[in-house]
A and B are shown apart, each in its own frame.
Chain A
């Protein structure tokens, strides 16, 4: 699986968009980008994933560059409850062989009033 690089920490003002970058320059053609977050004292929570097209769901948007070497997770209107550690994971899903995710150190996002 490709290695990912994320900033250690970021701040965001409440109500503004939070843009969390992830670098995955060694990603291969069949690897997906997954984002999870972990709020303090809780288990990680799946947010979104994508291969090469931009994706959006009720939680966030995922923008993947054309060369797929980096991506950005966007929380459009951050709230205090979005304060968490955000993990970017690159993984090739193999039928019935997956789930063995490697969680790095992630980005600690602090949303401030």
Chain B
């Protein structure tokens, strides 16, 4: 089975801190994604990557950046955390080609910004 591992299950940070959320997948998937999930708003796509060193903006990229230096690792960076970035963050990967919509998700990181 594909495993998508997010480095932290719960994280508490202070306003203005730089925050790194790490995600690793073990199945040589081409594509990786970062979503956030908020009550009443569903899942929203922040950034995604179809290849190493490539990145594309999703629907809500403001306040975030990403890094993909290796195929298996996709990092989400909050340059200066704010309280409105308190959320559940979900990383996902997919094989690529015509199987892009079969996503495998991690367990999520619940981030609280105080």
Contacts and interface: CB of A to CB of B under 8 A. Distances in A.
A86 to B, nearest CB: 13
A113 interface: no
A29 interface: no
B98 to A, nearest CB: 5
Nearest to A105: B42
Interface of A: 32, 34, 36, 41-46, 49, 89, 91, 93-105
17 contacts: A42-B108, A43-B92, A44-B90, A46-B102, A46-B103, A89-B101, A91-B101, A93-B100, A93-B101, A96-B30, A97-B100, A99-B31, A99-B48, A99-B101, A101-B43, A101-B101, A104-B42
A98 B30 CA distance: 11
Contacts of B100: 93-94, 96-99
B92 A96 contact: no
B107 A42 contact: yes
Q: How large is the interface on B (under 10, 10 to 19, 20 to 34, 35 or more residues)?
A: 20 to 34
Contacts of B102: 34, 46, 49
B61 interface: no
B105 interface: yes
B22 to A, nearest CB: 15
A76 B50 CA distance: 36
Contacts of A95: 97-98
Nearest to A97: B100
A45 B48 contact: no
B101 A34 contact: yes
Interface in B21-35: 30-31, 33
B50 A46 contact: no
Contacts of A41: 107-108
Contact of B101 (A42, A45, A49, A104): A49
Contacts of B64: none
Contact of A98 (B43, B90, B101, B104): B101
B28 to A, nearest CB: 15
